[in-house]
Amino acid sequence: MIDDVIRLREEVAMQIKALNGLKQMAASYGFDISRPAANAREAVQWLYFGYLGAVKTQNGAAMSVGRVSTFLDIYIDRDLKAGVITEDQAQELIDHLVMKLRMVKFARIPSYNELFTGDPVWATLEVGGMGQDGRSMVTKSDYRFLHTLVNMGPSPEPNLTVLYSKRLPENFKRFAAWISVKTSSIQYENDDVMRPVWGDDYSICCCVSATQTGKEMQFFGARANLAKCLTYAVSGGVDSKTREQCGPAYRPVEGDVLTYEEFMPRFMDMMEWLAAVYVKTLNLIHYMHDKYFYEAAEMALIDTDVRRTFATGIAGFSHVVDSISAIKYAKVNIIRDETGFPLEFETEGEFPRYGNDDERADEIAVWLLKTFMAMIKKHHTYRNSEPTTSILTITSNVVYGMFTSNMPDGRKAGTPLAPGANPSYGAEKNGLLASLNSVAKLPYEYALDGISNTQTINPDALGHDDEERANTLVNVMDGYFSQGAHHLNVNVFGVDKLKDAMEHPEKPEYANFTIRVSGYAVKFIDLTREQQLDVIARQAHERL
């Protein structure tokens, strides 16, 4: 009777109690979910009760639905063949489920909303994908879920995700792309890189993270600000805003020129320190969460013995890459204040920037990801969970930027960090395809929690009408994902529309104006003004 066995018994007891509570909840609505669902309507209803029980019993940041279209399609197809329902009624069932998912609300504290604005639920729901045997897993219900964006208009929830493969049926790819062109509400993830790791029965939890359905759970870990870590390497761990010794008191850079040979050992030491503090902090959080707020209802619906992953993340990725590139390939002068503190940087000469398909910068990006992941793996993780990482920021890139000082790549203090794995603002000089090529070089096996890439494309860059734009977008994604890229958020609109929506949010056309940001979708008018300006400042590609 060791600790792990005692803990498991206690957790299973809580899960059994939660299942009884779930049954009582459904009974209060007049349903007996202790018996199997007999038809499509009951299958949808039973599924929703499971989700409802989970969201009622925890105030989770991300409450994902999973990959349910194929499961529900079995019931719907059977009822259609039996003449029990019509196609219109089948679509209505899916519409109603999506409607309920759109209605989920949580009580959020103000600091939460600063990081994750727009009240996201991350009711992530997947369609598409291929089977291990080479067959497409696309069903009519995959189309039905996408069609809800036509029937009910665009919406951030559920977080609709297409598991993309070049081998998917062409009609399905074109339909999904057409929906993206019309609504900017879908994200795409590469089924061909996830399937070998997770099998063909996986779901997306939270934003972009794959997990075997019903067999795994993830300890979510937000992200570490590597951009700020870089500035600490120069200042010797002293924070530029507070002038407090926040990091270890390593020797700061003392000269007036920041050389590659002097900087890199300091940066490596500071990253090692950050990785250790990061993992220890997450261990404390997850231990206390399980102790005081165990998620019994949700855990009751998956296997008893689960695989656990320990998710971490990186913020400020592209700024660190470009800053290292500037230090290596140009001359970076340190501008100090009257106390000698390194307050600003002045870079002389040209240097390669990540996002232009330039191997000199892109190899730094690959090195940074691999190096930080290796540092994370050195440390013990809660419940012996498997460490993973992501390059994903949500909308927290704005808040992280507020507390990050000037950087050698030219980014100014207090300005937003570039989101996710996106290149730095203004860095992309060679068009959309070159930018995609750079991001595609990041190896998924070192970031199994996801590599988020959000792109905004002017409609005219894709074609003259929506059909041509959809076909062009399919070609772009076929090429991008065939290189091993993991993720793509697609926005199809111009900057002028964003500016008008910011200045005139009262216009009816902007009430449901949905955009993709790093990891989720949000109504643009629900963002703070700082976040709206951040979105406007991002690269909107006028050409491929």
Catalytic residues: 206-207
Whether cis (ω within 30° of 0) applies to the bond prior to 158 is yes
Q: Print the SS3 string covering 249-269.
A: CCCCCCCCEECHHHHHHHHHH
Report the candidate in 425, 450, 452, 444 with the shortest Cα–Cα distance to residue 518. 452
Q: Nearest Cα to 317, choosing from 262, 243, 371, 250?
A: 371
Task: Point out which residues pair with 209 in neighbouring strands.
Answer: 205
Question: How far is Cα 358 from Cα 457, in angstroms, rounded to an integer?
Answer: 21
d(CA 172, CA 170): 5
**Which stretches does DSSP call E strand in 148-248?**
160-164, 187-190, 202-205, 209-212, 216-219, 224-225
Report the C-alpha gap between 501 and 262 in whole angstroms: 47
Strand-pair category, 514-517 with 520-523: antiparallel
In angstroms, the Cα distances linking 494 to 4, 66, 126, 191, 500 are: 55, 32, 27, 29, 10
Q: Please report, for residues 17, 160, 319, the alpha-carbon distance to residue 326 in angstroms, rounded to integers and kept in the order given.
A: 58, 38, 10
65: its two tokens: 């639905």
79 sits in which H/E element? helix 69-81
CA dist 10 → 18, 219, 243, 296 (Å): 12, 19, 47, 10
Secondary structure string (H, E, C) spanning 85-102? CCHHHHHHHHHHHHHHHH
Strands 454-457 and 487-492: parallel
Residue appearing with tokens 């792109």: 455
- The answer to whether the CB of 437 falls within 8 A of the CB of 152 is no
Per the rule left: phi > 0, alpha: psi between -120 and 50, beta: everything else, 383 is: left
- For residue 238, give the DSSP letter: B
Neighbouring CB atoms inside 10 A of 13's CB total 11
